[in-house]
Structure formats: structure tokens, C-alpha cells
Amino acid sequence: MLKKIAQTGLLVLLFSSSFLLKAEPAAVGYETLAPAQPTQNPAKIEIIEFFWYGCPHCYSFEPLLEEWVKKLPKNVEFIRQPAAFNELWSKHAKAYYTAEALGVVDKVHADLFDAVQNKKESLDTEEALAKFFVAHGVTESQFHEAYNSFVVDAKMRQSPLMATRYGITGVPAVIINGKYKTNGPLAGSHEKMIEVMNLLIKQESSKK
């Protein structure tokens, strides 16, 4: 009987040790991607943020991220990547890509968050988005041309593949230089995410 108890205790200990080893990335606030993914510009440290305008966590992370972006060193390239896990997410992703094509991301990004999160606007049709963009200084014809452009369509086709490529299952999530992933659960908070991102940028910069 004592022998069985000892064996059981040993199994529990081994299981616990194994669990701790698997949980180790969470303890440091990030996971290592395997395999690492190529970046767009090898000369830069690439940071990709996956987000959705309908995500309250993304909305609360956005002010911290905006302040962080203002202080980025010149060797860091920041890329926003709208996630498109379903039809509604895809509509919002298309809104972002349209803003990007029109060169008005800085002008409308925060207001898109505000419209969806605070004003409870769905912004899930071309007509609703046209009104939104017109209110932000874009002509209706400019909006429809960009919204239905080849460039926006190509990015929409690529968007779901990007999440799969980096193993993204929720947002906000950040990829650091194609090698590491952090998010709220891994880091512990949005503030900690920023700390992890800064740490990994410093680490990757030292390698270059």
C-alpha cells in the first residue's frame, strides 16, 4: 500500500514538474514561436498588433499602445493587423484596410474604436462605413473606391491567414520580430505586455 502511495506521489510530482515547464513561457510573459516567422524588413525589429474594434480589451489597451508607439526607437517598425475570425470581425478589418488605403488611419482609428465601443455603432455595412468616413473628411466616392479596391480585397484575403501563421486565437495579441507572442493572459496585464515588448525589443536589438 505504501509503495502504491509513493508511486502515486512520484507521478503527481512528475506531472507537476512537466506542467511547470510548459507554463514557463507564461511566467516570463511571452511564448516563443516555433518556427519563427520571417519579417517584412530584416533591418527592423517588427512588432505586429492583432486587434478587433469590437474587443473591449483591445479598446482599453489602445491608449497604452498609442503612447508606446510615440516613443519607439527608429529601428522598430510597428504594424497593426486587424483579426478576421468571423463575418463581423471581417467587416471591421475591412474598415481598417480602407482607412489604410485612404491614408487616414491616424485620423479614424481611435474614432472607430469609440464608435463601436461607446456609441454602440455596428459599422458592419458599406453604407454605414461610408457615412462614418464622410464624417471624417473623406468623400463618398473616395470611400467606395478604396473599400472596393483590389488592394483592400487582397489584404482581406490575407488577413485570416495571418492569424493562423502566428497562432493567434484571441486579441489583443502582439508578435515581436516574428519570434515571440505576448497577450494579456501571458503577461498578466496590458501594462505588463508593454514591458514584455520593450524587453524583447531590447533583446532583439542587441542581436543586430
Structural domains in the chain, CATH included, are 31-207 (3.40.30.10)
Q: What is the pLDDT of residue 28?
A: 86
Q: Return the SS3 of 7.
A: helix
Q: In terms of Cα–Cα distance, which of 1, 2, 129 is closest to 53?
A: 129
Within a 13 Å sphere around the CA of 90, how many CA atoms are in the beta-carbon half? 12
Confidence of residue 207 (pLDDT cuts 50, 70, 90): confident
Q: Return the SS3 of 86.
A: coil
Cell 512528475, residue located? 14
Integer Cα distance of 19 and 42 in angstroms: 35
Task: Specify the pairing of strand 76-82 against strand 45-51.
Answer: parallel
Integer Cα distance of 63 and 151 in angstroms: 29
* pTM for the whole structure: 0.85
Confidence of residue 23 (pLDDT cuts 50, 70, 90): very low
Confidence of residue 127 (pLDDT cuts 50, 70, 90): very high
Cell 514584455, residue located? 196
pLDDT, tens digit (0-9, with 9 covering 90-100), for 30-42: 999 999 999 999 9
pLDDT, tens digit (0-9, with 9 covering 90-100), for 163-205: 999 999 999 999 999 999 999 999 999 999 999 999 999 999 9
